[in-house]
Amino acid sequence: MKKTKKNKEKTKNKIIKFRNRNFGEKILILLMLGLIAVVMLVISFFVYIIINAPDFSEEGLYASDASIIYYASGEELARVGAKNREKVSYDELPEVFVDALLATEDSRFMQHSGIDLARFLKASVGQLLGNSDAGGGSTLTMQVVKQTFTDPVASGIKGIIRKFTDIYMAVFKLEKKYTKEQIIEFYVNIPYLGAGTYGIEQAAQAYFGKSIGEVSLTEAAVLAGLFQAPDAYDPFSHPEKAEARRNQVLNLMKRHGYISDEECEIAKSISVTSLLDENSNIDKENQGMIDTIVAEVIRRTGKNPELVAMKIYSTFVKEKQQVINNINNGNSYKWPNDVLQTGIAVIDVKTGGVIAVGAGRNKKSKLSWNYATQNERHPGSTAKPLYDYGPAIEYLNWGTGQMVIDDVHGYSGGGNVKNWDGAYKGIMTIKTGLAASRNTTALQTFQAIPNKKINEFVTGLNLHPEYDVNNYIHEAHSIGAYTGESPLD
């Protein structure tokens, strides 16, 4: 009991002594305790990073398994992915391409040891201040790690952990073991570079029909620009964006002293489309179908089968697809020229499955513009059963014998709708109105249905109506006069 009393007195004396300290001393003690806590927290964080960092291996740099796509019958349709990557050594890379790459991706690559501290801090401050264009401050070495070994999550606590894991691996597992030339070699052989290509050699062959060692200054600039966003700067699909990005790369090369003003301007004067080898990347007549499947898989899963090995079981029917292919390639239909395009989607009415597509004629590359799924045009009179008669049957209990009047009729906001033949045929059933494609009866029917019910009906069919400021579907939808549906829609 005496000991306990003594301990209590000692504790009480300490508290009294602390209370008797002046305010400045108290603040100093608290700051020191806070600093110790922060240091311990930082040490714990870095210990966590080191313990949980993945093992680095050269074999793990390159994905080798392809994704397999199957027809509805189970027969193999195609293989997509990185399996056919052609790796090149550093010595095979022309100086002009290396210069373009370093000027664009990491101008101080040859000086730093895996992390460019000044660039990293600048990017971090920019991100904290809400500047989304500040970049992530990743060096070329860190990007090698990010592309193959760490989680691509770039935000929140996971993003912070990933960033510091990238730094740790870049500094201690790559820069300590490999030369700068070897790291550049890793960097250019790993990534997807658009148009179904993997690595810089495949990209050079696909876009320009030549080996990477043969590319010119302007071609090197196009290729160097792809690493940031390969699909966005694919010169086949987006030539204007590719040219703007190419010019940005050339400006950076000039800024860092790799090329002169004159060389920069001459390279900029060459159009990107004039450089492209339009026959170099045509894979097969089924490319449009493959592109459609790949895009749908990405939409549903968030994973790209070009990058992640999968088995994909499609609803496509080989024989039906061949009919579409024969139309597009001119075997069963004579086209007046090579400019005219098609967008075709064939649906199995029993299952709703897509069984064939015509993504366009004379496709120039993998994943290029898909006229079956990306072209949004007026649906025209095909909208009438969807926006008018279907909802009337569903919500107004109309039957096909419901009577309507084909006569002069106007929009609620003013102005009359006209029929295709300029005539009016009087009283008729909605079945006849649909069969004869009368605009007046379609508009009357649309106006009879609550707008919210029309919206419920068409969005349930995955259509994409347009809305006015009051979230109201405008009446021109009744005859398909709006932009927003692809052939597949």
Catalytic residue ranges:
105, 381
Tell me the HSE value of 269 on the side-chain side, using a 13 A CA sphere. Answer: 6
The type of residue at 82 is A
The type of residue at 425 is K
Determine how β-strand 67-70 pairs with β-strand 311-313. Answer: parallel
Residue by residue, DSSP assigns 207-265 as HHSS-GGG--HHHHHHHHHHTT-TTTT-TTT-HHHHHHHHHHHHHHHHHTTSS-HHHHH
* DSSP state at residue 192: B
Q: How far apart are CA 414 and CA 473, in angstroms?
A: 16
SS3 annotation, 381-394:
HHHHHHHHHHHHHH
- SS3 state at 125: helix
- SS3 state at 161: helix
Q: What tokens does 69 get?
A: 């796509």
Please classify residue 352 by burial: count the beta carbons closer than 10 Å to its beta carbon, then call 0-12 exposed, 13-18 middle and 19+ buried.
Answer: exposed
